[in-house]
């Protein structure tokens, strides 16, 4: 993005600088040399990334070790992800695969006799995929196929078929799945690749270690608190593997650090509406959440995430809770007098109609708030608030005023 704003010469210079600084492991030419058999694999030192997959040196995760030393659990703030020396592929090309695959005839990609716009694949990627297609055709699931999948996904992390074949090889060879999870952390330069997260989900489900997955997702949030894939994975972990008991405390640490973290607010809603044994949320839980939310609103009165969370709680509130919410919202609006407090109060006044005991004066009061929102507090959405006002006035008229 920054490069596009530069003059052409400066942009080229910046691009060249970034390319020069790119780690060697990210270049397509740096792929792993294969081994012909498991015995050869045991005797021949592999590049560190491959060694990490199969339990060699470098497989330990510094941030996990730090967490263990500190005695931290997934319910507390995760340790910062320590900077580590990235596992890298050996500085060899796909030509190194020739000896291990000399008995296999590669299958080239069939683009037809006269392709209009053939993709300019690199020589290494072409070679890897030709061998990969041969492995698919034969159904072979072996050590060399496992390493071939690593070569493919190192150049194309979104290759879902390579990930599938990799899982099949892991099962066929009886590999240590915990080491596979450790390997996946070396792909954190691609934190938003769907296929990578799905692979992690499948492997994690077989292991069944909820604490490990919650710890890992917490470490990802330290670098990217809004990673949608990571939040989806964490929710899947809770639903599938458990770990609910520490989740609200963890969310509180996130909101204490950043009260505007809308992802954390969304996760809080997920917990109270999905937690085992707490669906639907009890009136006691809802009241605790209302108190918690008003406390966070006091810290940042214009934080829309907290107001939206409160709006959701109001939809779950029982009839006896509505009046108490109205009183607190009136007091809050008198104090802050902003568009969030006004719209929340007006919505609550309207919602009494759904409880079957709305007085016309409440609808009139709601219409007056919508007018203020339209003309003063939120004129950007004037047409929306005008529609809400007209609806409230019509309901009040129908009630006899």
What single DSSP character describes residue 60? Answer: S
Please say whether the beta carbons of 48 and 60 come within 8 A: no
DSSP secondary structure of 314-383: HHH--HHHHHHHHHHHHHHHHHH-SHHHHHHHHHHHHHGGGGT---HHHHHHHHHHHHHIIIII-GGGHH
| CA dihedral sign of residues 342, 343, 347, 348 | negative
- Catalytic member of 192, 206, 226, 315: 192
Q: How far does the chain reach from its first CA to its final CA, in angstroms? A: 58
Helix axes 382-398, 339-351, angle to 10 degrees: 30
Q: Is 352 a catalytic residue?
A: no
Cα-flanking dihedrals φ and ψ of residue 240, to 5°? -95, -40
Catalytic positions, written as ranges: 192
């Amino acid at each position: 993005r920054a490069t596009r704003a530069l003059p052409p010469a400066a942009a080229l210079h910046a691009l060249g600088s970034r390319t020069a600084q790119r780690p060697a492991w990210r270049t397509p030419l740096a792929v792993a040399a294969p081994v012909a058999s498991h015995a050869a694999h045991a005797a021949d030192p592999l590049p560190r990334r491959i060694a990490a997959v199969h339990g060699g040196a470098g497989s330990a995760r510094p941030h996990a070790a730090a967490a263990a030393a500190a005695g931290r659990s997934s319910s507390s703030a995760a340790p910062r992800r320590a900077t580590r020396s990235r596992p890298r592929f050996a500085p060899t090309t796909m030509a190194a695969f020739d000896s291990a695959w000399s008995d296999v005839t590669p299958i080239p990609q069939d683009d037809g006799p006269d392709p209009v716009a053939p993709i300019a694949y690199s020589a290494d990627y072409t070679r890897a995929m030709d061998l990969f297609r041969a492995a698919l055709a034969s159904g072979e699931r072996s050590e060399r196929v496992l390493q071939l999948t690593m070569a493919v996904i190192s150049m194309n992390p979104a290759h879902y078929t390579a990930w599938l074949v990799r899982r099949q090889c892991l099962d066929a060879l009886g590999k240590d799945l915990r080491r596979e999870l450790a390997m996946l952390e070396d792909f954190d330069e691609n934190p938003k690749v769907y296929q990578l997260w799905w692979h992690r989900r499948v492997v994690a489900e077989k292991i069944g270690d909820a604490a490990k997955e919650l710890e890992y997702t917490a470490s990802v949030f330290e670098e990217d608190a809004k990673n949608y894939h990571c939040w989806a994975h964490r929710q899947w972990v809770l639903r599938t593997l458990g770990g609910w008991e520490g989740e609200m405390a963890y969310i509180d640490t996130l909101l204490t650090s950043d009260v505007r973290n809308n992802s954390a607010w969304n996760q809080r809603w997920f917990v109270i509406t999905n937690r085992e044994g707490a669906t639907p949320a009890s009136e006691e839980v809802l009241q605790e959440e209302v108190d918690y939310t008003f406390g966070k609103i006091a810290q940042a009165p214009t934080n829309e995430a907290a107001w939206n969370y409160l709006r959701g709680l109001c939809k779950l509130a029982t009839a006896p809770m509505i009046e108490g919410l109205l009183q607190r919202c009136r007091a809050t609006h008198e104090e802050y007098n902003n568009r969030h407090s006004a719209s929340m109060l007006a919505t609550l006044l309207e919602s009494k109609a759904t409880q079957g005991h709305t007085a016309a004066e409440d609808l009139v009061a709601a219409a007056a708030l919508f007018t203020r929102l339209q003309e003063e507090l939120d004129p950007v959405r004037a047409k929306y608030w005008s529609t809400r006002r007209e609806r409230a006035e019509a309901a009040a008229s129908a009630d006899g005023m």
